[in-house]
Structure 1
Amino acid sequence: MDTISREQFLGLANVKSDRCITIYMPTHRSGFEVNEKQDRLLYKNILKNVEKQVLDSGGDKADIQQLLKPSYELLDDKEFWYKLDYGLALFITADSFLVKKLPISIKEEVYVNNTFYLTPIFPLLNNDIHFYVLAISKNATAFYRGTAFSIEELSIEGLPRGMDDVIHFEEKSGQRLFRAGGSPATGIGSAHGHDAGLADEEEYVAAYLKEVDQTLWKEKLGNEKAPLLLAGVAYMAAKYRQISRYGNIVPEYLAGNYERVDTHIIFEKSRNMMIPFLQKPVRSALANYYNNLGGGTSCDDFSKVITASFFGQVENLFVKERSHAWGKFDKDRNQVTLHTEKEYGDECLVNQAIIHTIQNGGNIYVLSEEEMPDAKLLVASLRY
């Protein structure tokens, strides 16, 4: 999976050229479609369609072939086609070629204009809304940072990999002894600063969990407020919750043993459980929009929203997913011209509204038709 930073998004938004080609297509991580090279075949057909579209608009064949040369060369990269995600995006000009593997499902779409079409990838910019996952058992510990679109295991210095990293057991002369970190067995010891002489299994587990908590607090969570989701058997999750000093542990937990579970499975399960948290910003923004309808700062007039976005007035922009509105905006005259079909020189005004809102520090929320206020293409909460 590739990430898209706000800076990279704005860089793409600022590109203007005689011919900017944007390609989106669905892909597959595994299965029949990968084995039978169906994604590669779809991509090849899309390139042929792009070539025809540019030719039909008056382009020179030799120039087009040169423009698409890096795109065709990608067909020969076998490793690339066996390591895809859920979607693919390409941004092509005569001077640049950028490919992004997307962690979101996306529909096939080709856009040829003097700017790139960026609306489908905007949701990927919301990676600052994150949560943590601690998968813990007696034999293993793993710590993750997750977002709505991805999860990654973090390397935390000093984090115990399991209980044996903290506590070791020996039997000697019929006596159960404690030792720390591979030191010679004694009746008294310390485990990374913890008291010795632990009485039973429960106390050993408690010492291990306390060491995990102290390490995470020191190395990562001490200045954090993001929610922490626990993954493990009921006893370990309950005990860690009791011991931990972190103040934002999610009440629910992922039940089970996650010692040998693929990261993708952990991502799917944790994301599903964290949906209410991930949706908090949009719910709050929508509530504010509805509260200010009728004379307030909320606006549902398409032309007024477009105008406001160009002049930096939009605080929150709500956009119906996969929507287009073809036309032009004359900034000097504050005039929006809309066409039912794309005409020569038109731009997608929805795309332009998103770009200008981001450039001016506003927030974007891409919603389904059912979630959109009055099923409109776009509405906004204005700053003034």
Structure 2
Amino acid sequence: MSGAEHLSELCTPRGTAAHVSLFLPTVRRGPQTAQNGIRWRNLLARAEVALRATAAPAEATATLDALRQVSEDEGFWRNDGSGLAVFAAPGWSRVLHTPSTLPELAAVGNRFLISPLLPSLSSAGRFLFLALDRAQSRLFLGTRFGLEEAGVHIPTGPGHASEDRRRPAERPEGFVADRGGSGRSVVFYGRGNLDRKQVEETLQYFRAIDAVLAELPNGERPPMLLAGLGYLVSQYRQVTRYREIVEDVLVTDPSQLPIEELHRRAWLQIEPQLRGDESAAAARYRQLAGTGRTAHEPGAVLAAARVGRVESLFLSSSIMATPPDSVLLLGAGARSQFDQFDRLDQFDRLDQAAAACLAHGGAVYLVAPERMPIRDECAAALLRY
């Protein structure tokens, strides 16, 4: 399931029953991984107290049963992410491992809490990273926090892992090739010591990869960064129909670098592209301020988001700061461990606004306070009309 599909699912309340949202930062490896289970049990205990105090006994028991059942699953502590998010309602649960670190937080109420997931799952700030190799290319989903496998099957290629790495880089040669069967001839660059048969095998392999990309869910077309030896990148560009490929290329042999280094280099290349949409939306907000096409008061932002008027929504990361050991109670008349009820009400409204904005095809940017398009505000909405 894609990030957009996860958010869509979580933005839709599952009836009026009690909803529980649990967020936990996790340790990937080393002796400290034992702390994951301890912190999970403590978080679950706090949620149980809040749940039994606010929900009908049968609902509370059914939701807690769903939480305990999912935590006993074999893959629950899969250590390939820095955050764990668990959502449950009577008879239903969902577990997500996120590349970004999450706050330690529990929320109980008439809906799920989604804003902690925005850095990992919203389309803003996400990109595809295609590491090209004649033997086995890999497709990753990236954010500023890291790279993770995209969860689609990339076929095996015609080459062997050692075939390309033994060869020193050589001067590319140009010849004419057809662009993906389009009938248009373009200049194709390949290596002088690759014969035409090898080139055709590689092109066929890259067409198969492109067919996988064509099957991505509707709306899941983030920008894609290519990485690979120069001649492979040139070959892939000849056949691809994925139009969201960025111009910059990471020219390297991806198989020779650890995932952390690949991510560091990829983020340096892709960040300006990803920030482009954010910067353009912020500039439009400032241009339209005072014309009726912007809003920043949480109640007004939520009202506009519910009817699909919000084109872009900026939320300050400062709103995400929560007290230690807090349990948020969402919904009318709810109380929490926040010192001020007004702050909880603001947090609740803006989380709902983010869900509504995404449900209507808008973009949500969770940014540092200094990147907000309006100073000293925790929200800024650019309206469609």
Regarding TM over 0.5, the answer is yes
What is the root-mean-square deviation of aligned Cα atoms in Å?
A: 4.0
Moved more, 39-48 or 124-133: 124-133
**1:169-318 residue pairs with structure 2 within 5 A?**
203-205=192-194, 210-211=199-200, 214-215=203-204, 218-221=207-210, 226-231=223-228, 236-237=229-230, 239-240=231-232, 245-246=237-238, 250-255=247-252, 257-259=253-255, 261-263=257-259, 266-295=262-291, 297-318=293-314
| 1:376 pairs with 2:371 | no
| 1:117 pairs with 2:113 | yes
Is contact 2:319–2:347 with CA below 8 Å preserved after alignment? no
SS in 1 for 2:351: helix
Moved more, 217-226 or 82-91: 217-226
**1:143-158 residue pairs with structure 2 within 5 A?**
143-148=138-143, 150-152=148-150
Following the alignment from structure 1 to structure 2, what is the Cα–Cα distance between the partners of residues 309 and 298?
12
Distance 1:155 1:128, change over 3 A: farther
Deviation at 1:76? 4.4
Name the amino acid aligned to 2:12.
Answer: N
Moved more, 68-77 or 215-224: 215-224
Distance 1:212 1:163, change over 3 A: farther
SS in 2 for 1:279: helix
Following the alignment from structure 2 to structure 1, what is the Cα–Cα distance between the partners of residues 237 and 80?
40
Is contact 2:310–2:384 with CA below 8 Å preserved after alignment? yes
Count of residue pairs the alignment pairs up: 327
Deviation at 1:141? 5.0
Following the alignment from structure 2 to structure 1, what is the Cα–Cα distance between the partners of residues 226 and 17?
49
Is contact 1:25–1:107 with CA below 8 Å preserved after alignment? yes
Is contact 1:89–1:99 with CA below 8 Å preserved after alignment? yes
Following the alignment from structure 2 to structure 1, what is the Cα–Cα distance between the partners of residues 43 and 254?
41
Moved more, 276-285 or 18-27: 276-285
Following the alignment from structure 1 to structure 2, what is the Cα–Cα distance between the partners of residues 327 and 289?
30
Deviation at 1:303? 3.2
Following the alignment from structure 1 to structure 2, what is the Cα–Cα distance between the partners of residues 78 and 163?
33
- Which of 315, 340, 343 is 2:342 aligned to? 340
- For 2:159, the equivalent position in structure 1 comes to 161
Distance 1:266 1:364, change over 3 A: same
Is contact 1:143–1:154 with CA below 8 Å preserved after alignment? no
| 1:42 pairs with 2:39 | yes
SS in 2 for 1:116: coil
Following the alignment from structure 1 to structure 2, what is the Cα–Cα distance between the partners of residues 243 and 47?
52
Following the alignment from structure 2 to structure 1, what is the Cα–Cα distance between the partners of residues 104 and 156?
46
Under a length normalisation based on structure 2, what TM-score does the superposition of the two structures give?
A: 0.69
Following the alignment from structure 2 to structure 1, what is the Cα–Cα distance between the partners of residues 292 and 384?
10
Name the amino acid aligned to 2:159.
Answer: R
Unaligned runs of 5+ in 1: 167-200, 330-337
Distance 1:371 1:50, change over 3 A: same
Name the amino acid aligned to 2:342.
Answer: T
Once the two structures are superposed, what CA deviation does each residue of 1:311-351 show, in whole Å capped at 9, x if it has no partner? 2211111112362799989xxxxxxxx952558xx981011
Matched residues, percent identical?
Answer: 19
Following the alignment from structure 2 to structure 1, what is the Cα–Cα distance between the partners of residues 124 and 371?
21
Unaligned runs of 5+ in 2: 165-189, 215-220, 321-327, 333-339
Deviation at 1:216? 5.3
Name the amino acid aligned to 1:340.
Answer: D
Bigger Rg over Cα? 1
Once the two structures are superposed, what CA deviation does each residue of 1:287-313 show, in whole Å capped at 9, x if it has no partner? 222222232623334333222122221
Is contact 1:22–1:117 with CA below 8 Å preserved after alignment? yes
- For 1:179, the equivalent position in structure 2 comes to none
Name the amino acid aligned to 1:134.
Answer: A
Is contact 1:12–1:116 with CA below 8 Å preserved after alignment? yes
Following the alignment from structure 2 to structure 1, what is the Cα–Cα distance between the partners of residues 232 and 88?
50
Once the two structures are superposed, what CA deviation does each residue of 1:225-264 show, in whole Å capped at 9, x if it has no partner? 9544223xxxx42x45666654957445254x44355556
Is contact 1:328–1:347 with CA below 8 Å preserved after alignment? no
